[in-house]
Structure formats: structure tokens, C-alpha cells
A and B are shown apart, each in its own frame.
Chain A
Amino acid sequence: AQRVTQPEKLLSVFKGAPVELKCNYSYSGSPELFWYVQYSRQRLQLLLRHISRESIKGFTADLNKGETSFHLKKPFAQEEDSAMYYCALSGGQGAQKLVFGQGTRLTINP
């Protein structure tokens, strides 16, 4: 079964501090992993995907197949990073649907 676990419902850090949002997944094949973000009063939007290996808004995420993790990291948090973050998985091989984690609400304190 496909499952995504985000162990922290709430995460609060100070501005300028490093941020790590945890995501672990369960999938027997080769998944595609994504991070989606929802800022206050905005729609859910793609932040980054593991296949592109890019950094968006200073965030990076590395797929660790051994640990089945896809943690989201940023070295220096900014106040505008406060949002709801969702880790999501797709089964790959053309699979279309996403399996989401419960989400982590990140709050950056000034």
C-alpha cells in the first residue's frame, strides 16, 4: 500500500533558523515524490519534485530510498515560509493519482 507520513502536524522555528519538514513514505516500487505548499488564502501549489532535483525558494529535498524519506529542508527560514506543507507520492510508471501526507503547518516566528 502507498502511504505518506508527515510526523509533525505543527512546526515552529525562528526566522533565520534551519527548517526540516519530515516526510516518510511507503511504496514497493519507484515512486515520484513531491512537496506541495499552501500559503494563507492561496491555493495548493507545487513546490518541488524529486525528479527535477531543483531548489525552489531556498528549499531542497532529497529522496533517500534507503530510509524511504523525502525531507524538505531550508538553511535559513524566512517569515514568508509560513504555510501548510504537504508531501505527496505518486506510484510512477504513469500512475496519475497522488497520495498525500497529513501536512505540516510551518510557522516562522520573527
Chain B
Amino acid sequence: EAGVTQFPSHSVIEKGQTVTLRCDPISGHDNLYWYRRVMGKEIKFLLHFVKESKQDESGMPNNRFLAERTGGTYSTLKVQPAELEDSGVYFCASSPNPGLSYGYTFGSGTRLTVV
């Protein structure tokens, strides 16, 4: 079984530029989550998709962040324009229904550096 795939693995961009991160969940997993870890801080929830619908986006920091999940398959997280404080590791995870009691499967993460 293929795992959760994220790309790119690393991205270095300049402040003000746009970056799009992609996550391919495990096939058949309806639940897809985005988290991020900013340097020196804990891993924080960003949002949760159930299929193509946003179930919970309470963790999205501001309107510079836009997440989509086309057709309930892969998801993208766009940061536009990027700021220095957006640097960190962005994790994607997926889980099957009924969800959390099975635990997540995480991707390897995308390390974003904004300079």
C-alpha cells in the first residue's frame, strides 16, 4: 500500500512569492489533514477535509493560506504571498472513516523556508 506522499520535500522561496504544496493521501482515505510545525514550536493543526469538503479549517492562520482537495483525492495548500513566519515543516496525514481512532498516517512533510 502506497503511503501518504507529499511534494516537494523542500522548498525555498523569497518573501512575497507563492508556493503550492501537494499531498496525495492513501487511496480510499476520506479524511485528509494538514498540520505544520514552526521552528521550536509544537505541531499544529491547520485543517481537515472529508472527501472534498472542508470539515474543520479552524487552524488556518490567515487568508494567505488556501487549501483545496480536488475531487476528494489529492490536496494542495497554497501560501500566497509567503511571509518569513510561514517557514516550517508542513505535514499531511490521512485516515479512513470513521477516522481518528485508527490513527493517522503521515506524509514525510514539506520543509518550507521563506527567505
A interface residues, Cβ below 8 angstroms from B: 4, 32, 34, 36, 43-46, 49, 51, 86, 90, 94-103
Contacts and interface: CB of A to CB of B under 8 A. Distances in A.
Given A43-B109, A97-B59, A49 B44 contact: no
Interface in B63-101: 91, 98-101
Contacts of B18: none
Given A44-B91, A100-B43, A95 B108 contact: no
Given A96-B48, A96-B99, A97-B56, A86 B43 contact: yes
**A4, A46, A96: most-surrounded residue (chain B CB, <10 A):** A96
Interface of B: 3-4, 31, 33, 35, 41-45, 48, 55-56, 58-59, 91, 98-101, 103-109
Contacts, number: 57
B65 to A, nearest CB: 16
A36 B104 CA distance: 10
A43 B56 contact: no
Contact of B56 (A49, A96, A101): A96
Given A34-B103, A49-B103, A96-B56, A103 B42 contact: yes
Contact of A102 (B41, B45, B108): B41
**A44, A98, A99: most-surrounded residue (chain B CB, <10 A):** A44
**B41, B42, B56, B106: most-surrounded residue (chain A CB, <10 A):** B42
Contacts of A86: 42-43
